Structure 1
Amino acid sequence: MNPSASGWINKHFPKAILFSEKKYSAEAFYENLRATGFIYANSVSTLTYQNEKVLVDLTTEEITKINLFDSLVVTYYASSENPTKQDCLEKIVAFYKLLEKQNNSFFKISLFKSSSEEKLEKILQHRIQTNENLVQKNFSNLITNALLYIDVLAFQHYLETEEDPFAYSQRLEALFTNTVLLAFEEKGMKNNYEKLILRLLQNSLRYTKITSTLSTFEELNFSTLQSYSEKKYLLDLACITVFSDEELEENELLFLKKLGKALSFSEKIVTEAIDNMVFFLKKHKSQITYFSYSNAVKHFYKNTHRMVRVLILRNKKRLITELSESKELVVLLSKSTRTELNEIEKQKVKSQLLDICKSVPSLAIFILPGGSVLLPILIKFIPQLLPSAFNENKIE
């Protein structure tokens, strides 16, 4: 299943239903979703795919997209007496139409896509992205919206009340943003990590803007948060905000306890929230964006490296077929694993690889202007596809 290609919702939907039928309580579902990293804006796994081999072939953006879709489906099935696939998809599309009513570009999705599945695929792609421009996304990899769980909460509110979800989302976003910024004020000097998180938060906002004038903690109306999930999400956002530098100072801990009390949580629940957050961040540190942001060029290469790997794995059969018809290229590639190619041989490899990329639509990125700079990464991965007889350096 490829979440970046058309038709993925139809193929994936049975998996989402299977998870929905487990009938988790609101608390248990939230804890499961948090364990994937979705709540922390760093999805590293999904609710429906526990197989690590499946996840290796997915980008962070695709994993986030699956988690958002699964969360919406689970919410629908938990709220409906006679749920059906078609009604589920139509309800989600109708919800987003109301939520995005002030976004003119959003309605282009509805105009050119006929089925609910097609519309929803485009909607989810639009929702998971931040408001950064393309260049910034390429270099920072801040490609997913940090406040996506608000969509899930708003959808639940919409199903329960049938009210316009826009006002609810706007209110929730404003309260959450103000609280997170107050948590930031508990820090002394802001390092690059905190600045990056602040930028991610700012580029995730849909309905409000960050201003220099904040409400004080006492002025915030936490009583508007009624459900366990609303309160727990705010607490978890605050936890990951203050711990972004991998330290929890005394004043930051006091702030979290103060917030927990305002949300009617015991100190035990606050401590558990902190422990869960610390465990997740430490376990998945290497996969989390802001912990690897010290060198923009290195970070860009790392992300590109992963993208090329995903492309190769998804087109493995087609690539092997094309390579088998180009014996000279296979010989040169296998030779490159043992010794340096001369300039003429390198040029042949480049030319023949580009010809192969032309025959595989998904690899069109390599034949675009500037795409040839990615060829060394492509060359690095291709020997792994070749029969073992060609790869003398392979260790069994």
Structure 2
Amino acid sequence: MNPSASGWIKKYLRYLDKEQAHFSFSETTFYQQLRASGFIYANSIKTVSPLQKTNLKYTTEELTKINMFDSLLYIFTSQHPELPLEKAVEEIVLFYTQIEKKSASPFTFLKLKISPEEKLEKILQERIQINNSIIKKNFSHLITNALLFIDVLAFQEFLRKKEDIHIYLQEFENMVAGVVYQSFTAKKEKTKYDNLILQVLKSSFRFHKLDLDKEYHYDAQLTNDLLEKYYLIDLACVTVYSDEKIEKEEVDFIKKLGNQLGLENSIIDTSLVEMRAFFTEFKNQITYFQHSNALNNLYKNSNRMVKLLVLRNKNRLIRELLESKELVVLLSKSTHKNLTDEERMKVKNQLLDICKSIPSLAIFIMPGGSVLLPILIKFIPQLLPSTFNENRLED
């Protein structure tokens, strides 16, 4: 079976008809197996299911794809053990079709007359983001692929209620945003790069109703779902370990979060131990940790790339900016005063519209590209004529 070639899902399903033991795991055991595979940590180094012997050496992307599919199948079989796996494929495609109805960049192939298996192959291919662009190199392991399990949890909710899944996704992504952001802030001493990354993250979250600067209590926000709780505590562990060390303040934050989630101390300790052991053992196989300081490298590379793009497209960018008077006023205001949530959203949307009109800046409208917008905004005032800064509006 070759997960990078068309037809792999049908072939895999035939194999699973004979080897379905891993679907009989308890919920906790399956999650532990998934975590041990590296999927929860955004770095799959093996699969949960025992694969047929092959001469192929699977890539991280292919292993992630298989684990993603296995996770979705597990959720389906746990709720509908009497139904065939082919029915699971149809339900997964239906789930993603509902998600993409309100998406800015829907899966255009969903309406094509192809089999559910082929549609799902394309969906999984688009969902897995592994290091084949500058954005993905910088952000996939921290944000994009670490969030794949949200799809699994949302699919579980979809099967339970068959209602509009967007409300659940928004609420749970808010919780995840809070966990990621506050995990970063748990450090007692932050470098200038830590603070810069915090600002980039804060400016890039999709939903602005969550106040990321205040203490967030998770117990009142969750359903009583064990997989959600396991996932949130593991996500926090991965985030605090992004600089390859865990300080006392970070451990205290993890334990406080675990207690708020109602998890036993033994489970919280296991999450920390398993995470550290995984990254210690497989560090050389994980691209994100092959740099002396991942956060420093993340910001420096992003800063350098955005500056180059801005300089190369300077003249056209200035023309587009000056035609958008409201955007110019808001950018001016942002240099000396904090913008409101509504104003930040206007800046984000109008900048993305400008980026769409300039092919070289299309990188900002790619999945994950919005996290670079705060860096772009930092350079823009330097481009504008001096009269713009001299006549800046003051309140």
TM-score normalised according to structure 2 size: 0.65
- Partner residue, 1:44: 45
Alpha-carbon distance between aligned partners in 1 of 2:37 and 2:43, rounded to the nearest angstrom: 8
Deviations 1:270-311 (A, max 9, x none): 111111111111111111122113599xx9xxxxxxxxxxxx
Is 1:293 aligned with 2:291? yes
- Partner residue, 2:250: 252
Alpha-carbon distance between aligned partners in 1 of 2:61 and 2:291, rounded to the nearest angstrom: 18
Give the partner amino acid of 1:179.
V
Which runs of at least 4 in structure 1 moved beyond 6 Å after TM superposition?
191-203
Alpha-carbon distance between aligned partners in 1 of 2:140 and 2:183, rounded to the nearest angstrom: 21
- Check 1:146–1:30 CA distance in 2 against 1; reply closer, same or farther (3 A cut): same
Deviations 1:356-375 (A, max 9, x none): xxxxxxxxxxxxxxxxxxxx
Is 1:34 aligned with 2:53? no
Give the partner amino acid of 1:186.
A
- Check 1:176–1:99 CA distance in 2 against 1; reply closer, same or farther (3 A cut): same
Classify the secondary structure of the residue corresponding to 1:4: coil
Classify the secondary structure of the residue corresponding to 1:244: helix
Alignment of 1:217-256 (within 5 A): 217-220=215-218, 222-256=220-254
Give the partner amino acid of 1:159.
L
- Check 1:195–1:228 CA distance in 2 against 1; reply closer, same or farther (3 A cut): farther
Classify the secondary structure of the residue corresponding to 1:148: helix
Give the partner amino acid of 1:239.
C
Alpha-carbon distance between aligned partners in 2 of 1:170 and 1:80, rounded to the nearest angstrom: 26
Alignment of 1:205-216 (within 5 A): 208-209=206-207, 213-214=211-212, 216=214
Alignment of 1:86-125 (within 5 A): 86-103=86-103, 105-125=105-125
**Cα RMSD (Å):** 3.3
Alignment of 1:313-332 (within 5 A): none
The structural deviation recorded for 1:135 is 4.4
Classify the secondary structure of the residue corresponding to 2:88: helix
- Percent of residue pairs bearing the same amino acid type: 41
CA contact (8 A) 1:73 1:88 kept: yes
Alpha-carbon distance between aligned partners in 1 of 2:293 and 2:254, rounded to the nearest angstrom: 31
Alpha-carbon distance between aligned partners in 2 of 1:135 and 1:175, rounded to the nearest angstrom: 27
- Check 1:54–1:242 CA distance in 2 against 1; reply closer, same or farther (3 A cut): farther
Q: Count the aligned residue pairs.
A: 291
Q: Which runs of 5+ in 2 are unaligned?
A: 298-395
The structural deviation recorded for 1:242 is 1.1
CA contact (8 A) 2:219 2:260 kept: no
Alpha-carbon distance between aligned partners in 2 of 1:246 and 1:32, rounded to the nearest angstrom: 23
Q: Which runs of 5+ in 1 are unaligned?
A: 300-396
- Check 1:49–1:117 CA distance in 2 against 1; reply closer, same or farther (3 A cut): same
The structural deviation recorded for 1:211 is 9.1
The structural deviation recorded for 1:86 is 2.7
CA contact (8 A) 1:184 1:242 kept: yes
CA contact (8 A) 1:202 1:209 kept: no
CA contact (8 A) 2:243 2:293 kept: no
CA contact (8 A) 1:141 1:289 kept: no
The structural deviation recorded for 1:193 is 9.0
- Check 1:265–1:21 CA distance in 2 against 1; reply closer, same or farther (3 A cut): closer
